Structure 1
Amino acid sequence: MPILEDMKEYAERATGLRRPGKRQEPDLARPRSPHTVRFKDDGLVPNHPRWPLILYRGAVRLDGQHDPAAVLEDLFDAHGWSDSWRDGIYDYVHYHSRIHEVLGIARGKGRVRFGGNKGRIFTLKAGDVAVLPAGTGHQCLSADKDFLVVGAYPAAGTYDECTSVEDRPRALKTIPKVPVPRKDPAYGAGGPLAKLWRKPK
């Protein structure tokens, strides 16, 4: 599926077909209240020491006129979250210690555990958006065959993937240093993220 989706994305970006574009960005997101969850360090996955996972249910309008993955890409990109990819979510526990991540569900549904092995399981479906602060464990437990996720990252930070106890010493130092993103990936500068992820005083 990733190769097919990469080809579709390339063609859509080259032609503009089935893409809403940044100008339609104000019409892409529905107003939704954030659902937040904080996770404790479980010994393997540090999670974030201050900031919660943010989950927006049914936040994105997927109208059938546009490719749902392109809608998510254009929405995130309009708010400064780029380097997007199309795929699923890894079936093993991992986290990123030097960057935040947004996951938007383009198609299907999947059961995803956030926070590590002692975290919480959520069923994510098309239109849902999850914003993960650096350090948040995530793992797909099961999913529909057509489950498709669009991931993206804010401008500040460097992608890494942590999976083992050996990653912890460095991760514990780098996670708190990842800066607050300038904009919420779904709602922009006025979105809930700015209030939920505050800089330490």
Structure 2
Amino acid sequence: MDTPIQSFYVHDDGEVPNHPELPVMVYKGVFQDGALSMEAAFKRHGWSGSWSGGIYEEHHYHSNTHEVLGVKAGSATVLVGGDAGQRLELLEGDVLVIPAGVAHKKLESSFDFEVTGAYPNGASPNLRKRDPAQRAQSISEIQNVPIPDQDPVFGEEGPLLHKWVK
């Protein structure tokens, strides 16, 4: 596993909860052989319900599931963790694993930018935005999302399983 892997924590910013215990994971250049292998790897490792498209241009998060995003084409700058979060430069072949509750949005992208997304066990994600009325319920839901059985890229031996420990 020669893939450069980054991980970082984002904290509750008062508007979006983010995840209190799990870091965001970034796998740089892990897929050099095309988008089909990306989707197949996610599915093989139990991350299914896949879709292809872009990333919303406003902060949003999923309180009921984690999410993996693999860059199929192009490049983008993504803000993770709310306004005070971390800016990421994502390129084709990169993978971003987002814990439940972590806000993310696209800031800018190339014209051909496209991601493949998937969820552990094919979960159906909800869509949460900055809404104080949903905050308490979202925090409760985030705490109940289980850690996946497998890393979406590397399976049973992947770095996600070493970093995502409650």
Into which bin does the TM-score normalised by the smaller protein fall? over 0.9
SS of the counterpart of 1:71?
helix
Q: What fraction of aligned residue pairs are identical, expressed as a percent?
A: 41
Q: For the Cα contact (< 8 Å) 1:156–1:179, is it kept in 2?
A: no
Q: How well do the aligned residues superpose, as a CA RMSD in angstroms? A: 1.3
Q: Which residue of 1 aligns with 2:27?
A: 56
Question: Which residue in 1 is equivalent to 2:73?
Answer: 107
Q: Larger deviation: 68-77 or 98-107?
A: 68-77
Gaps of 5+ in 1: 1-29, 63-67
Question: Which residue pairs with 2:13 in the alignment?
Answer: 42
Q: Take 1:118 and 1:167, find their aligned partners in 2: how far apart are those partners?
A: 21
Distance 2:2 2:16 in 1: 32
TM-score by length of 1: 0.79
Matched, 1:186 2:153: yes
After superposing on structure 2, the runs of 4+ consecutive aligned residues of structure 1 that deviate more than 6 Å are none
- The letter for the 2-side match of 1:31 is D
* Correspondences of 1:82-101 after superposition (within 5 Å): 82-101=48-67
DSSP 3-state at the match of 2:15: coil
Q: Which has the higher contact order (CA 8 A, sep 6+)?
A: 2
Distance in 1, matches of 2:137 and 2:124, equals 14
Indicate if the aligned counterparts of 1:69 and 1:86 stay in contact, CA closer than 8 A: no
SS at match of 1:58: coil
Tell me which structure has the larger Cα radius of gyration: 1
The answer on whether the counterparts of 1:156 and 1:181 sit within 8 Å (CA) in structure 2 is no
Shift of 1:197: 0.6
Work out the CA distance in 2 between the residues paired with 1:157 and 1:196.
21
Unaligned runs of 5+ in 2: none
* Cα deviation 1:107-138 (Å, max 9, x = unaligned): 10000000011101111000100101101110
Q: How far did 1:155 drift?
A: 1.0
Structure having the higher helix fraction is: 1
Match of 1:197 in 2: 164
Identify the structure with the greater strand proportion: 2
Report the Cα distance in structure 1 between the residues aligned to 2:35 and 2:123, rounded to whole angstroms.
23
How far apart are residue 157 of structure 1 and its match? 4.5
Shift of 1:46: 0.5
The residue correspondences of 1:1-201 to structure 2 (distance < 5 A) are: 31-62=2-33, 68-155=34-121, 157-165=123-131, 166-199=133-166
Which whole-Å CA distance do the structure 1 matches of 2:15 and 2:53 have between them? 25
